[in-house]
């Protein structure tokens, strides 16, 4: 994470210069220091949204029952206590506040010094607040969500003048299984108490959260594997045991990757090189067995209207609608051939630059959840045993 204070700069002096910078830019005059690119880009977005810089904009809050629902649904609820323990163990915890949001920017959890939390209350920075850029202007949480990257801001780098007495340092948390963004960890406090170690604390907390999420995932697969042993005992033929998202807990008589398409009752799954497989629902997870003799997966992508993907494998076939983004990814991988595309190359093709790696990976992860190993990784490519035909629109 790039710190908000340049090396060698005095913190109080730099904070004052940033406030003067904000005043000058908003007045259309020459600032004493130039805004960093990430700040300048965010301020441009704020102007387009019509947010006011010289006052606190109207806050939006989620109802208490909605906050409770979001906490329950968030995978971060299993790791937030560990993050809070790390935060509370730091020597500067008395001058800081820890905030954890979901991927929509809703503040779900806070911890830290009561004095700092009271100041945050006065700003509307409370549990249930919508802390996206669109609602509260340039801030580390909202800008980290917008940029899908760690962000640290100080004083006048915030768009709202009401946030100038603060610093904030935030980083996105991603699902280690899928790359999907789950939320943001933020540490905030009085501007003149910012320490270089704050950014390192946020990065360490993010690594801890993602490691804990991965450990929890492995424990769930281990438990599913133990439950599956009686189902597979004495059985003949190949079989897989997978969780609801298609992650493989156990393989019997077959070599397959870590993940297949997410199972659905009564719907065949096309597994490249292995043919069509049918899922059965035991007490927990899914038992998946071969459904036919075909081994080549034939895909037909129809772009004449809303994208539709048809698949056939032996005697089994299915048809489903997919998003235009997923259709674009399949078309790009088809054009790339066996060499495939790196994440950077896919980002460049989708977004015009190689800097949207996280977004590109998340889109492929969602596509793999839908289609399983039909899309290979490292590099991204259509798997061996998959043949795709594209029918372009007019």
In whole angstroms, how far apart are CA 325 and each of 194, 321, 369?
Answer: 41, 12, 15
Which tens digit of pLDDT belongs to each residue from 120-140?
Answer: 999 999 999 999 999 999 999
Residues 211 and 248 in one domain: no
Residues 200 and 295 in one domain: no
Does some domain include residue 225? no
Predicted confidence at residue 316, as pLDDT, reads 63
Residues 263 and 341 in one domain: yes
Residues 210 and 282 in one domain: no
Residues 82 and 161 in one domain: yes
Residues 347 and 247 in one domain: yes
Q: What is the CATH number of the domain that holds 17?
A: 3.30.450.40
Give the number of other CB atoms < 10 A from CB of residue 162. 18
Predicted confidence at residue 394, as pLDDT, reads 61
Does some domain include residue 223? no
Does some domain include residue 92? yes
Residues 74 and 131 in one domain: yes
Q: What is the CATH number of the domain that holds 260?
A: 1.10.10.10
Distance of alpha carbon 49 from alpha carbon 79, whole angstroms: 34
Predicted confidence at residue 206, as pLDDT, reads 96
Q: Report DSSP letters for 263-290, one per residue.
A: P-TT--EEETTTEEEEEE--SSSEEEEE
Count of domains forming the chain: 2
Residues 206 and 244 in one domain: no
Residues 161 and 278 in one domain: no
Comparing 261 with 133, the larger pLDDT belongs to: 133
In whole angstroms, how far apart are CA 118 and each of 156, 157, 346?
Answer: 21, 22, 45
Q: Please state whether the peptide bond connecting residue 103 to the residue before it is cis, i.e. omega within 30 degrees of 0.
A: no
- CA quadruple 238, 239, 245, 247: dihedral, nearest 10: -70
Nearest residue to 87 (alpha-carbon basis) of 207, 202, 210:
202
Which tens digit of pLDDT belongs to each residue from 218-260?
Answer: 999 999 988 777 767 656 678 888 998 889 998 887 777 788 8
Residue 369 reports pLDDT greater than 70: yes
Does some domain include residue 103? yes
Q: Identify the domain containing residue 279 by its residue range.
A: 235-394
Looking at every residue in the chain, the average pLDDT score rounds to 88
Q: How confident is the model at residue 173 (pLDDT cuts 50, 70, 90)?
A: very high
Residues 287 and 205 in one domain: no
Distance of alpha carbon 329 from alpha carbon 352, whole angstroms: 14
Distance of alpha carbon 149 from alpha carbon 158, whole angstroms: 17
> pLDDT above 90 covers what percent of the chain?
56
Range picked from 71-85, 306-320, 343-357, 370-384 for highest mean pLDDT: 71-85
Which tens digit of pLDDT belongs to each residue from 178-203?
Answer: 778 999 999 999 999 999 999 999 99
Residue 41 reports pLDDT greater than 60: yes
Q: How confident is the model at residue 15 (pLDDT cuts 50, 70, 90)?
A: very high
Residue 38 reports pLDDT greater than 60: yes
> pLDDT above 70 covers what percent of the chain?
93
Residues 165 and 22 in one domain: yes
Give the number of other CB atoms < 10 A from CB of residue 95. 17
């Amino acid at each position: 994470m790039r710190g908000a204070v340049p090396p060698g700069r005095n913190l109080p002096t730099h904070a004052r210069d940033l406030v003067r910078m904000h005043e000058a830019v908003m007045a259309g005059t020459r600032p004493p220091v130039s805004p960093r690119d990430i700040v300048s880009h965010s301020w441009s977005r704020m102007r387009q949204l019509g947010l006011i810089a010289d006052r606190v904009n109207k806050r939006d809050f989620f109802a208490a029952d909605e906050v409770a629902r979001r906490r329950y649904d968030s995978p971060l609820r299993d790791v937030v206590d560990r993050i809070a323990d790390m935060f509370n163990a730091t020597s500067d915890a008395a001058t800081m506040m820890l905030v954890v949001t979901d991927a929509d920017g809703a503040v779900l959890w806070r911890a830290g010094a009561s004095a700092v939390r009271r100041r945050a209350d006065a700003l509307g920075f409370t549990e249930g607040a919508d802390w996206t850029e669109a609602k509260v202007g340039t801030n580390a949480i909202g800008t980290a969500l917008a940029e899908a990257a760690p962000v640290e801001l100080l004083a006048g780098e915030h768009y709202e003048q009401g946030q100038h007495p603060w610093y904030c340092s935030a980083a996105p948390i991603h699902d280690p299984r899928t790359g999907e963004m789950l939320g943001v960890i933020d540490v905030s406090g009085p501007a003149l108490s910012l320490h270089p170690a704050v950014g390192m604390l946020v990065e360490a907390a993010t690594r801890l959260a993602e490691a804990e999420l991965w450990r929890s995932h492995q424990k769930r697969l281990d438990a599913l594997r133990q439950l599956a042993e009686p189902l597979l005992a004495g059985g003949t033929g190949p079989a897989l045991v997978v969780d609801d998202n298609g992650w493989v807990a156990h393989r019997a008589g077959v070599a397959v990757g870590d993940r297949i398409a997410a199972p659905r009752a009564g719907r065949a799954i096309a597994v490249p090189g292995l043919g069509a497989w049918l899922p059965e629902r035991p007490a927990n997870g899914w038992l998946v067995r071969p459904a036919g003799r075909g081994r080549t997966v034939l895909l037909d992508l129809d772009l004449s209207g809303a994208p539709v993907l048809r698949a056939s494998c032996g005697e089994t076939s299915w048809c489903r609608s997919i998003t235009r983004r997923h259709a674009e990814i399949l078309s790009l991988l088809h054009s790339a051939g066996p060499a495939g595309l790196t994440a950077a190359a896919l980002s460049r093709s989708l977004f015009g630059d190689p800097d949207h790696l996280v977004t590109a990976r998340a889109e492929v992860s969602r596509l793999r959840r839908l289609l399983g190993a039909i899309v290979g990784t490292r590099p991204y490519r259509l798997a061996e045993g998959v043949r795709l035909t594209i029918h372009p629109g007019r």
